[in-house]
Amino acid sequence: MSKYYSYKQQVLEISLSLLEGGYFGTKHGSAGNVSVLVSGEEAVVITPSGMNYASLTADDLCVVNFSGGRIEGPHEPSVETGMHLAVYKNRRDVNAVIHTHQIHATMLSIINQPMPALFDEVTVSIGPKVEIVPYGLSGSSDLIDNVTAKLSNRCHCYILQNHGALCVGPSLEKARLFVELLEKQAMVYCQALAMGREITTLPEPMPEGLFQITKAKQDMEIARKESLQPVG
């Protein structure tokens, strides 16, 4: 059995859960992608390109290195592999990446509308603002560059203009939770916008103050990884 099997199984389980929840936009397509960082290696397990999630097995999943080279797997890795790798290279706190086409976040993507801090329990998890990543064709260097430019805000969720959403986290389970929190808040926000009334947001400086809790956890994860690196 492959040494990556447990990681493949995790990615498969989360992918099927997202499919069942409708977070990939359809239940019979191959939109969206999921990856997890292999602990102690510059390697990532990621979903394959163009395959119906409902038919996937753990053996179908791909393992790639940080240069995008295939280590293991019978299929081509996701066309968005470069975007996932850019996140891991630029956000040392991140161990999992999920790209979805969830409905309400995608609605905001086509009106180019970032989402402000609306609820304290969501803000402390995903960040004080869900920013719009400018459009880039799927799998393109433009999209990779545009995502990379936004990562320094250290938030866990982003809206990809005219595309979908990107959620990152310290684990697959947490990233999956952030997908749900993003959709919950996006659904409420879209419906509130449709009412045409003034929308209240969390008062300043509460959003940034709340997110300091999450940043502290991110710093701890970065420190943990640095402690595992060989000296010299």
Residues with catalytic annotation? Answer: 80
**Helix %, strand %, coil % of the chain (to 5):** 45, 15, 35
The pair of structure tokens assigned to 38 is: 């292999």
The pair of structure tokens assigned to 66 is: 């940080």
Contact 154, 93 (CB under 8 A): yes
Alpha-carbon dihedral sign for residues 207, 210, 214, 220: positive
Strand order in the sheet with 115-116: 70-72, 62-65, 43-46, 33-37, 96-100, 164-169, 157-160, 129-133, 115-116
Q: Would you call the peptide bond into 205 cis, given omega within 30 degrees of 0 as the criterion? A: yes
